[in-house]
């Protein structure tokens, strides 16, 4: 068992609770209330800045040009796409500009943003990877529950969020992240402890983020 799988197993309760969350059930079933989706996406969108910064730190702290270029490609796709899914959904759900760019952040959002910025500050490749890996792998896991595309919900606001985390390129990226993380598993006790805590915190906060989404003001 690699380092990534070992850490995931060590926090299986939070991991499984996130992947099997009611939020995901309702998203996959097409019954997620718009008020919940709106609140969730508005909060999730606030991670863009720290997430892009983390990808940049991975380019800067990576061990080789070939590793750096993987993150460079992901950053390029991010820059090119201009968050079209978010923009389309915000338009469809009539999200005012103020809520897109500067909403009041929930505790779950502040906590996850803080975790990303602490990982950024370490400049440590395993710490940066731990956060990126949890975010991407866990999302890949819940999106994999969607199964064949025929069984996906009909509305674009639901199915495109699934597609973003369930497609061959995304799956390849998650696999690469996991192998990269395994390859740089820390050998000194202090770093190992810190990276392990970072990984576990990230999983716990992913679960809390779904919890928070379901507790949004008017969940209908």
Residues that bind a copy of itself (CB under 8 A): 48-49, 52-62, 64-65, 68-73, 75-80, 120, 123
CB of 124 to a copy of itself, least distance (A): 13
CB of 64 to a copy of itself, least distance (A): 8
Q: Which is nearer to a copy of itself, 105 or 144 (CB)?
A: 105
Q: Which is nearer to a copy of itself, 33 or 56 (CB)?
A: 56
CB of 12 to a copy of itself, least distance (A): 32
Most distant CA pair in the chain, distance: 50
Q: Which is nearer to a copy of itself, 48 or 156 (CB)?
A: 48
Tokens, residue 193: 């402890």
Write the CA distances from 120 to 82, 116, 150, integer angstroms.
23, 6, 40
Q: Which is nearer to a copy of itself, 34 or 78 (CB)?
A: 78
DSSP SS3 for 53: helix
**Angle, vertex CA 171, rays to CA 204 and CA 10, nearest 5:** 30
CB of 49 to a copy of itself, least distance (A): 4
Other C-beta atoms closer than 10 Å to the C-beta of 150 total: 5
Q: Which helix (H) or strand (E) holds 158?
A: helix 156-164
């Amino acid at each position: 068992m690699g380092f990534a799988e070992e850490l995931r197993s060590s926090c299986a309760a939070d991991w499984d609770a996130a992947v099997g969350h009611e939020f995901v059930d309702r998203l996959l079933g097409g019954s997620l209330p718009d008020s919940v989706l709106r609140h969730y996406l508005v909060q999730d969108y606030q991670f863009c800045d720290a997430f892009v910064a983390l990808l940049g730190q991975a380019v800067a702290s990576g061990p080789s040009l070939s590793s750096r270029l993987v993150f460079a490609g992901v950053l390029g796709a991010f820059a090119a796409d201009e968050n079209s899914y978010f923009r389309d959904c915000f338009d469809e759900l009539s999200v005012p500009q103020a809520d897109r760019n500067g909403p009041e952040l929930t505790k779950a959002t502040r906590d996850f943003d803080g975790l990303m910025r602490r990982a950024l500050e370490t400049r440590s490749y395993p710490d940066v990877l731990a956060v990126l890996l949890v975010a991407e792998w866990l999302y890949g896991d819940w999106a994999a529950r969607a199964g064949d595309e025929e069984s996906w919900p009909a509305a674009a606001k639901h199915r495109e969020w699934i597609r973003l985390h369930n497609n061959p390129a995304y799956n390849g990226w998650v696999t690469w992240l996991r192998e990269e993380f395994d390859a740089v598993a820390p050998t000194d006790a202090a770093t190992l402890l810190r990276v392990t805590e970072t990984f576990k915190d990230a999983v716990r906060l992913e679960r809390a983020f779904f919890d928070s989404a379901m507790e949004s003001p008017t969940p209908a």
